Amino acid sequence: METLAEPETITAKSCSKRTCPTGMAGIRDALYVLNGKWKLPLLFALTDGPMRFKDIQRALGDITPKILSKELKELELNEFVVRNVYSTTPVTVTYGLTPYSESLDAVLFALKDWGISHRKRIVASRKADIT
Amino acid sequence: METLAEPETITAKSCSKRTCPTGMAGIRDALYVLNGKWKLPLLFALTDGPMRFKDIQRALGDITPKILSKELKELELNEFVVRNVYSTTPVTVTYGLTPYSESLDAVLFALKDWGISHRKRIVASRKADIT
DNA sequence: CGGAATCCCAAAAGATACTG
DNA sequence: CAGTATCTTTTGGGATTCCG
């Protein structure tokens, strides 16, 4: 996995129109790195502090070790996550967020808040259907 | 496609810990509705106003009509998009954003901004590699 | 133009088992 | 515990063709 798609040179410094190439490219770049079913939930789970492999697995519910391992590696590659190994017996490994990962906070929170309020809306409209 | 995953009843009203079940569920709910490669770019593209099918296709680059059609239907189902039909000959169809879709603005902007600055970071570090 | 229909493929994700 | 290895399934997405 690479860290980013080919860098289509972007010239504009800022964009008034929201669909300007830069804006669209921004969306796509972000999605390119945060793709898949697990990366955002994973990052969110780690915001409380480093966790061990098995604990992450439990926190995310039904992710298999294979997938989890792969996702963690990709997050490491993109410098969102650090892997720490402790020489206990048996060995202990934790995964924690990097300082750079904090740059994603706005995205994470916006997404979380929206998800929560969206669910409320859906639930409310379902009740209305019944009534 | 349904509009939301099964409504695991959430009790907590607010969360101090970021990884509390509600927060995690929020992320997953959001991702459930905004999944795939195209939904966010699509919503972003429409923020400048309604567009016709073919124009959307061009704006997104290489999306095929089949996929575009499917994605638009899902966005319609979730009340982010409205389909407008004009009885011209041949018929004209436009897709526009609903008021509810504005609730996604924070997500869209956060994602776009992050993507832009992330690219800058990558490009800068590549130059550093060369130097 | 605005799609639907059909066929096809690669990649993502899951199940299961196994190892140091 | 912290993963790896294999295998299988799913599904997202693309190519092409065709129709009103």
pLDDT digit string, tens, across residues B29-38 = 999 999 999 9
Cα nearest neighbour of A102 on chain B:
B114
Percent of chain A clearing pLDDT 90 (strictly above): 73
Q: How far A131 CA lies from chain B's nearest CA (Å)?
A: 18
Q: What is the pLDDT of residues A34-52, one digit of tens each?
A: 999 999 999 999 999 999 9
Residue B15 pLDDT > 60: no
A8 domain residue, yes or no: no
B16 domain residue, yes or no: no
Q: How far A111 CA lies from chain B's nearest CA (Å)?
A: 6
Q: What's the pLDDT at A127?
A: 83
State the residue range of the domain holding A70: 36-130
pLDDT range class, residue A21, cuts 50, 70, 90: confident
CATH of the domain at A46: 1.10.10.10
Cβ of A41 within 8 Å of Cβ of B28? The answer is: yes
Number of domains observed in the structure of chain B: 1
Q: What's the pLDDT at A11?
A: 44
A78 domain residue, yes or no: yes
B5 domain residue, yes or no: no
Q: What is the pTM of this model?
A: 0.90
Residue A59 pLDDT > 80: yes
Using an 8 Å Cβ cutoff, are B39 and B14 in contact? no
pLDDT range class, residue B9, cuts 50, 70, 90: very low
Residue-wise burial string across A81-96, b where 16 or more C-beta atoms lie within 10 A, e elsewhere:
beeeeeeeeeeebbbe
B15 domain residue, yes or no: no
Question: Quick one: angle between helices B39-46 and B105-130, nearest 10?
Answer: 110
Tokens of B91: 């018929």
Residue A30 pLDDT > 50: yes
pLDDT range class, residue A62, cuts 50, 70, 90: confident
A18 domain residue, yes or no: no
- Which nucleotide across the nucleic acid strands is nearest to B35, CA versus C1'? D12
Residue B13 pLDDT > 70: no
